[in-house]
Structure 1
Amino acid sequence: MMALIIVLFVFTLVLYIFYGYYRFNTLVEKDKEQLFNLTGNSEKLVTKEDLAHLPNSMKNYLIKVGVIGKCKDCHAIIKQSGQIKQKQNGKWTDFTAKQFMTAKPVGFVWAAKAFPVFVKDKSIEGVGEVNISFLGLKSIAVNQSTETDESALGRCLGELAFYPVGFLNNTIVWKDIDENLVKATIIVGDTTTEGFFHFDENGLIDRFESKRYKDETLENFTGKVENYQIICGLYIPTKIKAIWNLKSGDFEYFNCDIVDYRIE
């Protein structure tokens, strides 16, 4: 009798886990379809004239990474593997994730699994959301606010280095600071945010700096990118580190590698 109870318990647990995965993936797919269907995919190609309005450092960077001749309004699907932690002295937790990105309009959906915690982060038409759930079954925390909108759009802006065609979007206003630094202000819907892109000696983006909300506090943030490789004809970074620049010191809380990349 006890053996039967154990078998039934394990069977029920497995069913719950499968249902959680199914439910989570269904919600992610719904957001992805909303993002991908905001505008039609014309597959028009980027020309050199499309770069004319940009600061020289950004223009030279985009030529170097190979955006000319690429589709203007396709989508990027990126798989990641990495680590994340919640506290400065906390333990790293492994995760895998899939990120969907669009260049026109600029937006993303990020779905991560760090068993048993699933996270869905997004910015669609300037509206952000962070949904943390237990196995995809029950939400532990859901963040929806003006601050979330700004932080999500800021993340979206900084991570365009993964899909640099998005830098051509007319929702971004550029200001040339010097030969190695540009300021970008992005406005999508009712949400506005800004940040600074730094270029290395090779003319490639090596970091993005901005202010983002950590809980309810506006903090300095740095995203560092490295290990550029040619994938799908684009020369993109395949590693990223996310760092809070706190008064108490820098707190690196996220790092990941791109393990798969495609454009459609």
Structure 2
Amino acid sequence: MESLRRTFLKAINLVGQQSAYAPPSLLNDFNNLPELLQKFIHLCGYTGFEKIECAHIKWNDTMLKLSPKAKWSPMRCYQVKFLSQPVRLVYMKISIFGLLPLEALDLYKDAHGSMSIKLMKIIPISNATGKEIDASELVTILAETIFIPHYALQKYITWEVIDASSIKGTINYNGISVSGIFHFNQNGECTRFVTQDRYFTKKNNKYQKTFWTATANDYKLKDGIRFPTQFNATWHTDNGDYEYFKGSIKSIEFNKTELSCI
């Protein structure tokens, strides 16, 4: 039985080969975007930057809370994204109680999403799929425009100005449309994304649309690019807020699909 790590690496290689033959990415013409996005893109150093087809987000100090009452569990997180078609590949290694190794693969490709979890690399725990997972993955891709502003240029995302400090983004792909609102601070940094279009998994694998927030802070400059180094994700459930993910971004590499030390 193939490990999720192996599945992750094979997916990167396959999508990378496909993207090599894909039509060129859109030119870096930001002039038709809302002014807030133009300012954000310029602030982050992407004006005149090379066209981006894929991105590798390097995470540090990532933590996951598996349930609202659980303790934080440290994990290693590896993430690769492709832009011409929305593809999101995230591999996670988690240690429960410091003893039990879990691996998880959070994946969106070929217009479908899935979340797979295995214990000790061989024992399947879950493999969630379906239209709710597809929608949740798409709205997460939309949210990660915070890290990868070139998503703003993709034809499958459209924009609507809300007010002087916020804009609404809508991603429409394979018949599924989801939206969220990006909030910007006085410096032009995007610090928060909120949506009602993400699904929370309840008991018996039932799904419910639940208010979801992603926050991004502590922007830093590295290799000419500014990006948020702190990221948190929170569900706002009927029983209260449930922050389940937090981590720091070490760096972002573009147009490279080779991973090491995984």
**Normalised-by-shorter TM-score class:** 0.7 to 0.9
1:97 corresponds to: 77
Report the equivalent of 2:208. Answer: 217
Q: Contact 2:102 / 2:120 at 8 angstroms: preserved in 1?
A: yes
Q: Within 5 A, what are the aligned runs for 1:1-264?
A: 23-40=3-20, 46-47=27-28, 50-80=29-59, 81-115=61-95, 116-211=101-196, 212-215=198-201, 216-264=207-255
Q: Are the equivalent residues in 2 in contact too, given 1:76–1:261 (CA < 8 A)?
A: yes
CA distance in 2, matches of 1:132, 1:55: 39
Q: Which amino acid in structure 1 is aligned with residue 219 of structure 2?
A: Y
- Cα separation, partners in 2 of 1:38 and 1:188, compared to 1, 3 Å: farther
CA distance in 2, matches of 1:88, 1:64: 36
- Unaligned residue ranges in structure 1 (runs of 5+): 1-19
CA distance in 2, matches of 1:262, 1:138: 33
* Distance in structure 2 (CA, Å) of the matches to 1:102 and 1:28: 14
Could you list the structure 1 runs, at least 4 aligned residues long, displaced by more than 3 angstroms after superposition.
41-47
Instruction: Answer yes or no: is the 8 Å Cα contact 2:80–2:88 preserved in 1.
Output: yes
d(CA) in 2 for partners of 1:246 and 1:111?
Answer: 26
Deviation at 1:259, TM superposition (A): 2.8
Q: Which amino acid aligns with 2:46?
A: V
Task: Render the CA deviation track for 1:59-93: whole Å, top value 9, x for unaligned.
Answer: 11111111122222332112223111122221110
1:159 partner amino acid:
E
**Sequence identity of aligned pairs in percent?**
25
Q: TM-score, normalised by structure 2?
A: 0.86
Query: Alpha carbons of 1:114 and 1:142: their partners in 2 closer, same or farther (altered >3 Å)?
Result: same
> SS of the residue aligned with 2:3?
helix
Secondary structure of 2:19 counterpart: coil
Q: Distance in 2 between matches of 1:36 and 1:234?
A: 23
SS in 2 for 1:37: helix
Deviation at 1:261, TM superposition (A): 2.9
Comparing 136-145 and 217-226, the one that deviates more: 136-145
Gaps of 5+ in 2: 96-100, 202-206, 256-262
Say which SS state the counterpart of residue 31 (structure 1) adopts.
Answer: helix
TM-score (norm 1): 0.85
Q: CA deviation at 1:181?
A: 0.7
How many positions carry a matched residue from both structures?
Answer: 242
Aligned partner of residue 210 in structure 1, secondary structure: strand
